[in-house]
Amino acid sequence: MSPAASTPAYRRLSVEERRAQLLESALSLFAHRAPEEVSLDDVAEAAGVSRPLVYRYFPGGKQQLYEAALRSAAEELRTCFAEPHEGPLLPRLSRALDRYLAFVDGHDAGFTALLQGGSVVETSRTSAIVDGVRRAAAEHILSHLEVTEPGPRLRMTVRMWITAVEAASLIWLDEDKQPPLAELRDWLVEQFVAVLSVTANRDAQTAGLVGRLLSPADG
């Protein structure tokens, strides 16, 4: 076999593939270092490309790249809670958490960068990206609860639980991904029922939901 024949054929990446590569490299860097400590040279080196190429795709510089990287992670996370309204609620929530935690497991750098972005970079756009994921998750959950006008206690409880899921996911990554995902998922579902039960002691709307959740027909 000739040397030319043994050399792998070079394949030029499409615009979409190259952009995705740059975003993935940026997310990995932003997950482990503060955004102000990451330069475009760092992103170019991590992606194995030149700095001018990074500018070609992101002419707005690092801030545009950072926001685009956050947005790509956020859009994927938004879909995790999109579950068909069929069958009992708690199994639906388990399936949604399966997708959410699978994203955390497969994109740990992107997930960490996403959640850190709301506090590390003080801009209204990045904060809106992070908050948009949380609001979308809350809207999906309230929709599954079949609540069109949630009271303040119920709304606060759902948002608190979403924050707990985020915190547990970050701690799980920091603890070498222990306990196993299935155990973490079941624990988070149990926590959801538990916090609703506490709120039910002070809120009639939530009390009615808990009664339905714990009924044999819904379990």
CA distance 86 to 44: 46
Per-residue model confidence (pLDDT) at position 109:
74
Q: By 3-state DSSP, what share of the chain in percent is helix, strand and coil, each rounded to 5? A: 75, 0, 25
Q: How many CB atoms lie within 10 A of CB 40?
A: 16
Q: What is the DSSP string of 31-47?
A: HHS-GGG--HHHHHHHH
pLDDT tens by residue, 37-77: 888 999 999 999 999 999 999 999 888 888 888 888 888 88
pLDDT band at 129 (very low <50, low <70, confident <90, very high): confident
What pTM did the predictor assign? 0.77
pLDDT band at 127 (very low <50, low <70, confident <90, very high): confident
Q: How many CB atoms lie within 10 A of CB 56?
A: 12
Instruction: Give 77's Cβ-side CA count (13 Å radius).
Output: 32
Long-range contacts of 213-217 (CB under 8 A, 24+ apart): 213/89, 213/90, 217/88
Cβ(169)–Cβ(104) below 8 Å: yes
Tell me the backbone φ, ψ of residue 49, rounded to 5 degrees.
-130, 180
pLDDT tens by residue, 80-106: 888 888 888 899 999 999 999 998 998
10 in helix, strand or coil? coil
Cβ(93)–Cβ(188) below 8 Å: no
Tokens 């068909």 — which residue? 84
